[in-house]
Structure 1
Amino acid sequence: MKFAVFAPLAAGLTDDPEWMTLFAQHLEACGFESIVVAEHTVMISRYTSVYPYDPSGRVDIDPGCPVPDPLDLLAFLAGRTERLGLATGVLVLPNHHPVVLAKRAATVDALSGGRLRLCVGVGWLKEEVEACGAEFASRGRRSDEQLQVMRMLWDGPTDGVSHRGEFFAFRDAVCRPRPRAHLPVHIGGHSRAAALRAGRYGDGFQPLGVGPQRLAELVAVMRDEATRVGRDGAALEVSVGHQVSKIDADRAARLGASGADRVVLAMPPVTDVDEARDLLSGCAGRLGLTP
């Protein structure tokens, strides 16, 4: 079982280089597998979209809260850590052009020594996606094509690759540097469409916020779809969510028995870095982690 931790989102934390450095270095010292950072290219102060992970339908992030660009933040943290995995969770794929994103992700992965894991989703905030220039209704088809384009550019021959699709087109494109090895791309989301996308294109699936029965249903959809398209469904990882302050070895064992390969842990609302490090140390001790 692998244990990752979300970087907290709060003013004076996520955009504070000293705070984030101390937080990431302590994760590494405690033996956590990776740090996970969220994305909102822009926050919207007035929106009609429904946030799917809270009964209120509203996201608990103040519009003025700093949300750094995830790849820039991970590149910064790569230079201040040695082994810690660097993950997005989730990067809103329709907000990005896949050719530019392929270059940025490969650069971070190459210069960090192969530590990047992309977890991507189609996004829930219609107003944000549209502000970035994409049509919200077609974001699923757009994301499928984006995933194919990025993999082509990363793995393509030295004389370039060509593509003509519904949303993107180019000829003889060469994208270097390549990722250090195979750059894993996981699919975030809790819908059947996300499970199908993970089966077709992903290296894993991150359906946070679902119960055991729904998790089993979605994982079965992912693995069946992978088999249908000629991929090894059993090789795809599953990441589930929990809380830093509540997880222990018994809970982790139950999550593993349900099919989870990784637990992505959320921090409580803590602003003092020493308090945050104490919480992480206690969590690592309960889980029996070693640096």
Structure 2
Amino acid sequence: MKFAVVAPVAAGVTADPKWMADFARHVEDCGFESVVVVEHTVLMTEYDSVYPYDDSGRVELAADCPVPDPLDLLAFLAGQTERLVLATGVLVLPNHHPVVLAKRAATVDVLSGGRLRLAVGTGWLKEEVEACGAPFHARGRRADEQLQVLRTLWEHRPEGADFTGEFFTFANAMSYPKPLSHIPVHIGGHSRAAARRAGRFGDGFQPLGVAGAELIGLLTEMRESAQAAGRDPAVLEVSLGHLVARVDAARAEKLAALGADRLVLAMPPVRDIADARELLSDCARRLGLRP
């Protein structure tokens, strides 16, 4: 089992370089596998969209909460750490042109020594997606193409890369640097469409906030989609969610029995770095990551 820690964006600290550097180094020192950063290109003071991860339908972040660009933040954290995997969770695909995203992600991967993992999703905030210029209703089809564009541009093709799709088209394109090896791309989401996308295109699936029969159904959908696409479902990683303050070895074992390869642990909105370090240290001890 691997353990990832989500930076506490709701605390308003993730744009503070000293706070985040101290946080990431302590995550690494505690023996966690990865640090995860979230994305919102913009937040709205008013919106009609329904946030799917809270019964209120409203996101817990204030519209003026600092939410730094995830890849820029991870590039900064790469220089503050040595072994820690640097992950998005999730990067909102429709907010990005995949040709530009391929270059940015490969750059972070190379400069970090091959430590990047992308978890991507199609987004829930219609107003944000449309502000970034993408049609909200088509974001699923667009995401399928985006994932193919990323892989196409990351491959070594001496004659240049070609792609023709509904949304993106190019020919003879050379994008360097290439990733050091293979950038894992995990699909985040709680829908059957996300499960199918993970099976067809992903290296893993991250259905946070889902449990019980619903989770089993999504994992079955992912594996069936992988088989239908001629892929081995056994190689796809599953990342499930839990809380830094509550997870322990027994809970981790139960989730591993459901098929989890990684737990993505949410932090409470702590502002004091000493409190954050204490929470992380206590969690690491409960999980047996450090004495």
Mark yes or no: TM-score above 0.5. Answer: yes
- Counterpart Cα distance in 2 of 1:276 and 1:268: 9
Aligned residue for 1:256, secondary structure, equals helix
2:280 corresponds in structure 1 to 280
Which piece of structure 1 moves more, 211-220 or 53-62?
Answer: 211-220
Distance 1:213 1:26 in 2: 36
How far did residue 10 of structure 1 move?
A: 3.9
Residue aligning to 1:8: 8
Secondary structure of the 2:9 match is coil
Q: What are the Cα deviations for residues 74-109 of structure 1, in whole angstroms up to 9, with x where unaligned? A: 000000000000000000000000000000000000
Q: State the match for 2:88 in structure 1.
A: 88
Match of 1:133 in 2: 133
Instruction: Report 1:68-217 matches (<5 A).
Output: 68-217=68-217
Q: Report the alpha carbon displacement of residue 212 of structure 1 after superposing the two structures with TM.
A: 2.3
2:47 maps to a residue whose letter is Y
State the shift of 1:215 in Å.
Answer: 1.1
Q: 2:234 is aligned with what amino acid?
A: A
Q: Deviations along 1:133-184, whole A, 9 cap, x unmatched?
A: 0000000000000000000000141221111110011110011111110110
User: 5+ unaligned residues in a row in structure 1: which ranges?
Assistant: none
Deviations 1:188-229 (A, max 9, x none): 000000000000000000000011221111111111110111
Query: What residue number does 1:269 align with?
Result: 269
Find out whether 1:232 has 2:232 as its counterpart: yes
Q: What percentage of residue pairs aligned between the two structures are identical?
A: 69
Displacement of 1:290 after TM fit? 4.0
C-alpha displacement of 1:31:
0.2
2: CA distance between counterparts of 1:11 and 1:288? 27
Question: 1:16 corresponds to which letter in structure 2?
Answer: D
1:30-74: CA deviations, max 9, x gaps? 000000000000111100000000000000000000000000000
In 2, Cα distance between equivalents of 1:102 and 1:43? 24
Looking at structure 1, the residues matched to 51 and 12 of structure 2 have their Cα atoms a distance apart, in angstroms, of 24
Alignment-mate amino acid for residue 93 of structure 2: L
Equivalent position SS for 1:102: helix
TM-score between the two structures when normalised by the length of structure 2: 0.99
1:11/1:66 contact within 8 Å kept: no
Which secondary structure state, in structure 1, belongs to the residue aligned with residue 137 of structure 2? coil
Match of 1:47 in 2: 47
How many Å apart are 1:19 and its aligned residue?
0.2
Alignment-derived partner of residue 251 in structure 1: 251
Partner of 2:32 in structure 1? 32
- Cα distance in 2 between the residues matched to 1:14 and 1:151: 29
TM-score with structure 1 length normalisation?
0.99
* Letter in structure 1 aligned against 2:135: E
Instruction: Tell me how far apart the structure 1 counterparts of residues 25 and 157 of structure 2 sit (CA, whole Å).
Output: 37
Partner of 1:18: 18
Q: Which amino acid aligns with 1:175?
A: S
Q: Contact conserved, 2:4 with 2:36, CA < 8 A, in 1?
A: yes
CA RMSD of aligned residues (A): 1.0
